[in-house]
Amino acid sequence: MFSKETYIERCEQLKKTVGSGLLLFLGNDECGANYADNGYRFRQDSTFLYYFGLPYAGLSAVIDIDGNREIIFGNELTIDDIVWMGVQPTLKEKSESVGVAEIRPASAIAGYLQESAGKKQTLHYLPTYRAEHQLKLLAWLGVRPGKETPSIPFIRAVVNQRSYKSSEEIAEIERACNTTADMHITAIRMIRPGLRESDVVAAVTEVALAAGGDLSFPVIGTVNGQMLHNHYHGNIIREGDLFLMDAGAETAAGYAGDATSTIPAGNSYTPHQKEIYDIVVNSHRTAAAALRPGIPFSEIYDLSARIIVEGLKNLGFMRGDAEEAVQAGAHALFYPHGLGHMMGLDVHDMENLGEIWVGYDGQPKSTQFGRKSLRLARKLEPGFVLTIEPGIYFIPELIDRWRAEKHLEEFINYEKVATYKNFGGIRNEEDYLITPDGGRRLGKAIPKTTEEIEALR
């Protein structure tokens, strides 16, 4: 948590931007995994954390812009809670520590909202992403699940604040990135044939927990890197495999790191692995060097894709004009995801508020395969924190589908591609801050080139 002044300033700015009405903040509740008392790790809603700082379950808050007051709704601990969970500061003390003087019991919020509605005050709330949020809107306001009408001015105002990281946030993110780098260095040092994927996942999870925080998302640690969000960890690592690890730490304050390494099972990459790997590193470095305020991130995505097409042309997998291939979407056979996303309190920062508002400044997205997965396209500005994460994958099912359809065959040498169907996938990912004159990697460097990684084996 930051000092109370940080939260007071954030709320003041939000009130000015939205201008009038009642802003409702839905905190998160505990969530039972298999029964109520055996829950998943509690994670507070990130927008609630941003404005009210309190990482506790069962809270809601309102900012009444017209009445110029903030209220946190929640319950004081009962003696039973204290017996089972120990003593904590009171809700009053917790709220005062983030600059909010007024608290009310959790049960009072429905009446409060109904009174506000009776006065014809405009209610603003954000998109829901948990069933408990939907149920609360149903119970308090009669809004049926699926029929919510989130407030666009509220969304835009929150995005407009959370997109620009303050120096105290950047310090937190850098802490998360340093732990994330330690997780990756641990994996690079330990991987060898005969280990199970889960051995590596366990070791890097330990690094994240030992740093005082947790994971920022479930670890991807797999010899099947061509499956983009693969969370199966039961395979044995074998000589010749490439182990793709996408993993990040979250600090105790809730800020994320997010990085990907692709590590050979043995001491070195095979010549074929190195050829593809070098293209990905070149794409990553070229994209990172292009970061600066004013450039649309979509242009850097195009650049990263052109580097991949040029590299794959040199190896005989692709042909034709690289720019035309990228505009046609031919690169997406190998590079079917975006180049990166905003990062902050969420690993995909503010994704619950809507990609159009976070990544596209309200402009429409492409529907082209590959390009449609680009989460960030807008012009970059100082204070943005984002990832750079190009990759090359050989996805057998996608190759077969496109080949059968002769899809974009003017750009793709399917005969050669078919010989690589067992190759797997390669991705590199690190996190960057947009500065007034360029971009700066956050946290210490993760070994990235084949030489740097082989040196640690």
List residues binding ligand GLY (CB under 6 A).
217, 246, 258, 341, 347, 389, 429
Q: Which of Mn ion, ligand GLY, none sits in contact with 174, Cβ below 5 to 8 A by type?
A: none
User: Residue 180's CB: how many other CB atoms inside 10 A?
Assistant: 32
Q: Which is nearer to Mn ion, 246 or 250 (CB)?
A: 246
**Token code pair at residue 365:** 């997205």
State the amino acid at position 428 in one-letter form: N
Q: How far apart are the first and last CA of the chain?
A: 39
Q: Which is nearer to ligand GLY, 325 or 342 (CB)?
A: 342
Q: How far is the CB of 306 from ligand GLY (least distance, A)?
A: 21
Among residues 246, 346, 349, 430, which is the contact residue for Mn ion, using CB under 5 A? Answer: 246
Q: Which helix (H) or strand (E) holds 5?
A: helix 4-18
Comparing CA positions, the residue from 183, 160, 206 lying closest to residue 383 is: 160
d(CA 322, CA 307): 8
Cα torsion angle, 136, 141, 143, 144, sign? positive
Place of tokens 């939205």: 18
Q: Which is nearer to Mn ion, 172 or 246 (CB)?
A: 246
Q: How far is the CB of 347 from ligand GLY (least distance, A)?
A: 6
Q: How far is the CB of 359 from ligand GLY (least distance, A)?
A: 12
258 forms part of the interface with Mn ion (CB under 5 A): yes
Going by DSSP bridges, is the β-strand pair 60-64/22-26 parallel, antiparallel, or unpaired? antiparallel
Q: Which of ligand GLY, Mn ion, none sits in contact with 355, Cβ below 5 to 8 A by type?
A: none
**Token code pair at residue 66:** 């017209």
Q: Which is nearer to ligand GLY, 70 or 429 (CB)?
A: 429
Q: How far is the CB of 248 from Mn ion (least distance, A)?
A: 6
Comparing CA positions, the residue from 58, 59, 6 lying closest to residue 30 is: 58
DSSP state string for 280-301 = HHHHHHHHHHT--TTSBHHHHH
Q: How far is the CB of 348 from ligand GLY (least distance, A)?
A: 6
Q: Which is nearer to ligand GLY, 100 or 347 (CB)?
A: 347
Q: How far is the CB of 13 from ligand GLY (least distance, A)?
A: 29
Q: Which is nearer to ligand GLY, 164 or 217 (CB)?
A: 217
Cβ-contact 258, 248 below 8 angstroms: yes
Q: Which is nearer to Mn ion, 94 or 375 (CB)?
A: 375
Q: Which of ligand GLY, Mn ion, none sits in contact with 217, Cβ below 5 to 8 A by type?
A: ligand GLY
Q: How far is the CB of 386 from Mn ion (least distance, A)?
A: 9
User: Residue 58's CB: how many other CB atoms inside 10 A?
Assistant: 14
Among residues 28, 47, 387, 428, which is the contact residue for Mn ion, using CB under 5 A? Answer: 387
Q: Which of Mn ion, ligand GLY, none sits in contact with 29, Cβ below 5 to 8 A by type?
A: none
- Rg of the chain over Cα atoms, rounded to whole angstroms, equals 24
Provide the binding-site residues for Mn ion, judged by CB under 5 A. Answer: 246, 258, 387, 429
